[in-house]
Amino acid sequence: MLVEVEQGTLRGATCGSGEETYIGFKGIPYAKPPIGKLRFKAPEPPESWVGERDASQHGPVCPQYNERLDCIEPGSEDCLYLNVFTTTLTPSEPRPVMVWIHGGGFYTGSGNSDYYGPEFLIKHNVILVTLNYRLEVLGFLCLDNDEVPGNAGLKDQVAALKWVKKNIAKFGGDPENVTLFGCSAGAASVCYHLVSKMSQGLFNKAICQSGVCLNEWGYNLYPRERAFQLAKLLGKETQDPAELLEYLRSLPTSSLVKIELPILQVEKFDLADNILFGPVIEKSHLNVEKFISESPVDMVTRGDVGNVPVIVGYVSGEGIEISRKLPHLTAFLGMPGAVVPRELKFKLPREKLYDIDQMIRKFYFDGKDITENSLQEYTNLETDRLFAYNIMRYARYHAHYCSMPVFVYKFTAETERNYYKRHYKMEAVKGVCHADELPYLFDVKCIDIPKPDKSWKVIDNLTKLWTNFAITGNPTPSSELPQWKPFKDGARNTFIIGDDLVCAEDEDEANMQFWEDVYGESVLNNLRPNSQKRFK
**Strands of 8-11's sheet in order across:** 2-5, 8-11, 52-54
448: Cβ contacts below 8 Å, ≥ 6 apart: none
Decide if 227 is inside a domain.
Answer: yes
How many whole angstroms separate alpha carbon 260 and alpha carbon 280?
Answer: 19
Residues of the chain above pLDDT 70, percent: 98
Asked whether residue 526 is assigned to any structural domain, the reply reads no
Binning pLDDT at 50, 70 and 90, where does residue 67 land? confident
pLDDT at 487: 98
Please report, for residues 167, 401, 524, the alpha-carbon distance to residue 179 in angstroms, rounded to integers and kept in the order given.
Answer: 15, 20, 29
What pLDDT, in 10s, does the model give residues 118-162?
A: 999 999 999 999 999 999 999 999 999 999 999 999 999 999 999
Q: Measure the CA–CA gap between 210 and 265, rounded to whole angstroms.
A: 30
> Read out DSSP for 60-74?
PPPSEEETTTTEEE-
Tell me whether residue 354 is in a domain. no
Region 374-385: mean pLDDT is 98
- Parent domain of 225: 2-330+370-519
Are 159 and 177 in contact, with CB atoms under 8 Å apart? no
Cβ(254)–Cβ(42) under 8 Å?
Answer: no
Residue 15: phi and psi, rounded to 5, are -115, 165
SS3 call for 2: strand
pLDDT of residue 535: 40
Residue 292 located in a structural domain: yes
The model's pLDDT over 287-332, given as tens digits with 9 standing for 90+, comes to: 999 999 999 999 999 999 999 999 999 999 999 999 999 999 999 9
Which range scores top for mean pLDDT: 64-73, 145-154, 522-531?
145-154
| Domain harbouring 419, CATH code | 3.40.50.1820
Residues 474-518 have pLDDT tens digits of 999 999 999 999 999 899 999 999 999 999 999 999 999 999 999
Non-local CB neighbours of 394 within 8 Å, separated by 6+ positions: 191, 208, 212, 213, 214, 300, 312
User: What's the number of domains the chain is made of?
Assistant: 1
> Which is more confident, 408 or 531?
408
CB 326 within 8 A of CB 339: no
**Is residue 531's pLDDT more than 70?**
no
- The verdict on residue 190 lying in a domain is yes
Count CA atoms closer than 13 A to 171's CA, side-chain side: 35
306 contacts 195 by C-beta, under 8 angstroms? yes
pLDDT of residue 533: 45
103 domain-assigned: yes
Q: Which DSSP symbol is given to 29?
A: E
Residue 69: pLDDT above 90?
Answer: no
Q: What are the angstrom distances between the C-alpha of 375 and each of 293, 320, 322, 426?
A: 38, 9, 10, 9
Whether 407 is in a domain gets the answer yes
- The predicted-structure confidence for 405-447, as pLDDT tens digits, reads as follows 999 999 999 999 999 999 999 999 999 999 999 999 999 999 9
Per-residue pLDDT, 532: 45
How deeply is 402 buried, as exposed, middle or buried, from its count of CB atoms within 10 A (0-12, 13-18, 19+)?
Answer: buried
| 60-87 average pLDDT score | 95
pLDDT over threshold 70, residue 529:
no
What is the model's pLDDT at position 263? Answer: 87
Is the pLDDT at 90 greater than 90? The verdict is yes
Q: What is the pLDDT of residue 527?
A: 52
Report if residue 343 sits inside a domain.
no
* Average pLDDT, rounded, for the chain: 95
**Cβ atoms of 37 and 24 closer than 8 Å:** no
According to the model, what pLDDT value does residue 525 have? 52
**Over residues 69-89, mean pLDDT:** 96
Active site residues: 184, 318, 434
